[in-house]
Structure 1
Amino acid sequence: MTETPAPAVNQIWQDNDKRSYGRRLRIVEIVGEHAIVELVVPRGAGHQGAKPGRQTRIRLDRFRPISTGYRYIGQADR
């Protein structure tokens, strides 16, 4: 089993919350105790919510594979 890396710029993470299943984010910047992330894939097929490219910030301590956290997917292509 691979260990979860520390959050870093240009990584892709997936939301573990069952209400947002499938939502993927790319870290674009780390500022203090928060990551500025950009939505890559919205949650669920046909979801009418946020569009790809939208940015928000998330506390760094949420980037761990628990039910309300995020799991590491890999490095972004760009």
Structure 2
Amino acid sequence: MTDTPTPAPGQIWQDNDPRADERLVWIERTDDTHATVRQVKLTPAGEPVPLPGVRRTRIRLDRFRPTSAGYRYISGGETR
């Protein structure tokens, strides 16, 4: 089992809420308490592409953990 990395810019995370229909978010930046993210889809090569018309969202950093109300790490970025 791998450890969940600290959220960092460039990482892709998946929403664990079953109502989110496998929503993927890409972290643009972080501050002391929140991450600013954009919803993305992945190309066949695994590159994130922002979805058109979807706004940026701020998510508390403590929600980036693999629980039913959190997010699970997919790939990318710095893994501190």
After TM superposition, what 4+ stretches of structure 1 lie above 4 angstroms from structure 2?
Answer: none
What runs of 5+ residues in structure 1 fail to find an aligned partner? 42-50
1:37-66 Cα distance to aligned partner (Å, 9 max, x none): 01103xxxxxxxxx8153110000000000
Alignment of 1:43-62 (within 5 A): 52=51, 54-62=55-63
**Amino acid aligned to 1:34:** H
Q: CA RMSD in A?
A: 1.6
For 1:25 and 1:13, locate their aligned partners in 2 and report how far apart those are by CA, in whole Å: 5
What runs of 5+ residues in structure 2 fail to find an aligned partner? 42-49
| Secondary structure of 1:3's aligned partner | coil
- Identity of paired residues, percent? 55
Q: Aligned residue for 2:44?
A: none
Aligned length, in residue pairs: 67
Q: Aligned residue for 1:74?
A: 75
Alignment of 1:23-42 (within 5 A): 23-41=23-41
TM-score, normalised with respect to structure 1: 0.79
